[in-house]
Chain A
Amino acid sequence: MTTENYVSGMRRKVGWFVILGLGAIVALLLVATLRTEVFARKFTLYVAPPSASAFFVGQEVKFQGFTIGRVDDIELQPRGEVRIALRLLDRYRGMLHQGSAVRLVKPGLLSQENVEVTSGDVHAAMLGDGALLPFREQATLEQLLMDMKPAVANADTLLGELVSVARWLNDPQGDIRLATANVRAATQGVDQGAVQQTIQRVSDAATQFERLSHQLADNKAGEHLANSLKQTAQVLKNIEPLTDELRRQAPEALAQSRALVQRLDELSRSLNGIATDMQQLTPELPGLAQESRNAMLEMRRLAGAVRNSWLGGGASEPVSSGSELVAPPMMDGAQ
């Protein structure tokens, strides 16, 4: 009796042990499947990146930082195209619309790249099963460095050109300096040829300006400067026909000469602008820029003196105005 009781007790205990063990295994399996979404409804999207090197099967696919699926398959198509299948949870499908794209995102410098899907146009229709999404390349640090290389080289070239412009403007034997000196020399003589020579010099300078402006226009970083140069070239260009006009129409010579002076003044203002631009662009240039600016200021003074002389009819014209270096005084409302 005692032995029978003992055996039946043992059987009961073993039975309970087996039942509890199996139950625990089933429960664990249930939890595991629920957590890994093995039995959740899914849908598939495809993407065709240029290379599969950054993808692997089982790689997480994220949307707004949440894992919404995994890379299911990577295959090389017969025509050499890469095709990657993304298996995504169906419950997130409502958030993905037409216009969404796939990209690789690197959360940290050394961390692994994640596949990320963007939401697309929220007003557009939802994505269908099996849709092919475009792949967008995200600029990596390496790519940025590679891209920067030519930009740095361009900047170097531009800087070199700016330095040469500044040196050219500042060159005592340069066209602009010689042109200024010639105008000055012309004022001491009576020879009309000197003026013609000056005009020729200025005209040559225009050609040089034009060439420089074209060179700078090729480089987008110098667009602003190139525009300034272009305007200057235009001003310079207008001088030559003016002198022809002057030669032909002696009775109107006085009025025309005033217009010539006006153009010279415009030219010097324009060149001043360039000098200031150069000064703003780089700290290495101010000295050179300033020196070239001085040459231009000299030209402006010359033009101003002619305009203000009694001959120019502007002696009594008030020209004084606020210095461009001084902030205007404070007034109510208008600061």
Chain B
Amino acid sequence: MKALGLIMLLLMTACAAKHELPPQPVTNPYQARAEGLARAGVDALDREQWSRAQALFEKSLQAATLADDQGLMSLALYNLGRAQAVRGDVKAARTAFQQAIKQADATHDAVSMRRAALALALLEEQGSSENKELASADLLRVPDSFPIDVHLAAARLAEIRHQSDLAEHAYGRVLEMAGRDRSGLTYAARAHLGLVDLARSEAGPDGVVKDSAWRHLNQAIGLLRRVGGPRLMLQALNLAAEMEADPARRQQWQERAAAVQQALHKAHSE
């Protein structure tokens, strides 16, 4: 009994050190609505309901504007740009990202600014635009304290620009930061897939991929099986099919990828 009392005392003291009674929260309903809609939009994006995601982010932007919360406005513009980019509306996405940068700049919000700038740079890299040089090399050097999504975006951009060291460092940072929740594990899976790409690009002249590529790919597939993410899984299976040297096993990978692709297509058409 004494041992239990002692343990509880220590437990409570540890908590007390971290917590004080907070003041009664007063919430701006428009702010709450903007956050709720942003959350629902991210969820819709995850479920590949892109038009719904766009509509939710548009409403989120409207609510953030009504709340006059510039941080949320910048976030909503970034999210809206992401939904527009996914839907293939590059022009609208570019405008949204540019507005997000402007908004974040006005409030000296370095994180939001970097997030939108990286998204814009990635958009330009993936298109055939001539604005690719807009982003400076400093963009890729993300402070460690920045959120995980910014590191992942920087890693991807560095990878596209063949700056392997920076990309590897940023992917490593993503893996360090990734939590154990679904979102964290999904980020980790994305980072592993990025590292597979990096390892493949460093393949020897004989074309044999490094063992590390397979290691990262297996980790990504394992994580994706835990958290679910059919689009990422499809990407992983396609990578495996490309990397596999044995024709019989390659065919197996291809068949699995085709099955996922077919199921995804069917799910979309329902």
A to B CB contacts below 8 Å, 8 in the list: A187-B19, A188-B12, A253-B7, A287-B32, A322-B183, A329-B150, A329-B156, A333-B238
Q: Do B148 and A195 touch (CB < 8 A)? A: no
A276 contacts B by Cβ under 8 Å: yes
Q: How far is the CB of B61 from chain A (nearest CB, A)?
A: 13
Chain A residues within an 8 Å CB radius of B199: none
C-alpha spacing A280/B184, complex, angstroms: 25
Q: Which residues 113-151 of B sit at the A interface, judged by CB distance below 8 A?
A: 115, 118-119, 122-123, 126, 147-150
A321 contacts B by Cβ under 8 Å: yes
B98 contacts A by Cβ under 8 Å: no
Contact with A305, one of B15, B38, B176, B193 (Cβ below 8 angstroms): B15
Q: Do A318 and B4 touch (CB < 8 A)? A: no
A324 contacts B by Cβ under 8 Å: yes
Q: How far is the CB of A193 from chain B (nearest CB, A)?
A: 11
Q: How many residues of B contact A (CB 8 A)?
A: 74
Also in contact, A301 and B79, with CB within 8 A (given A322-B184, A334-B229): no
Give B residues with C-beta under 8 Å from A.
1, 3-5, 7-16, 18-19, 21-22, 24-25, 27, 29, 31-33, 35-36, 38-42, 45, 48, 53, 75, 78-79, 82-83, 85-86, 115, 118-119, 122-123, 126, 147-150, 152-153, 156, 176-181, 183-184, 186-187, 190, 193-194, 229, 231-232, 234-235, 238
Interface residues of B, dominant DSSP = helix
Chain A residues within an 8 Å CB radius of B24: 172
Also in contact, A334 and B178, with CB within 8 A (given A184-B19, A327-B45): no
Q: Do B33 and A309 touch (CB < 8 A)? A: no
Q: Do B148 and A321 touch (CB < 8 A)? A: yes
Q: Do A325 and B38 touch (CB < 8 A)? A: yes
Give A residues with C-beta under 8 Å from B.
172, 181, 184, 186-190, 192, 195, 246-247, 250-251, 253-254, 257, 276, 279-280, 283, 286-287, 289-291, 293-294, 298, 301-302, 305-306, 309-312, 317-335
Q: Do A290 and B79 touch (CB < 8 A)? A: no
C-alpha spacing A290/B31, complex, angstroms: 9
Q: Do A327 and B122 touch (CB < 8 A)? A: no
Chain B residues within an 8 Å CB radius of A305: 14-15, 18-19
C-alpha spacing A319/B185, complex, angstroms: 11
C-alpha spacing A289/B82, complex, angstroms: 27
Q: Do B147 and A195 touch (CB < 8 A)? A: no
State the total of A-B contacts with C-beta under 8 angstroms. Answer: 189
Across the interface, name the chain A residue whose C-beta is closest to B7.
A253
Q: Do B119 and A330 touch (CB < 8 A)? A: yes
Chain B residues within an 8 Å CB radius of A333: 231, 234-235, 238
Q: Do A326 and B86 touch (CB < 8 A)? A: no
Q: How far is the CB of B5 from chain A (nearest CB, A)?
A: 6
Q: Do B33 and A286 touch (CB < 8 A)? A: yes
Q: Do B15 and A325 touch (CB < 8 A)? A: no
Contact with B29, one of A172, A287, A323 (Cβ below 8 angstroms): A287
Q: Do B181 and A192 touch (CB < 8 A)? A: no
Contact with B7, one of A187, A257, A328, A335 (Cβ below 8 angstroms): A257
Q: How far is the CB of A178 from chain B (nearest CB, A)?
A: 13
Q: Do B119 and A329 touch (CB < 8 A)? A: yes
Contact with A190, one of B12, B38, B119 (Cβ below 8 angstroms): B12
C-alpha spacing A291/B181, complex, angstroms: 24
C-alpha spacing A254/B3, complex, angstroms: 10
Q: How far is the CB of B200 from chain A (nearest CB, A)?
A: 13
C-alpha spacing A90/B86, complex, angstroms: 59
Q: Which 3 A-B pairs have the closest CB atoms?
A: A321-B184, A290-B32, A321-B179
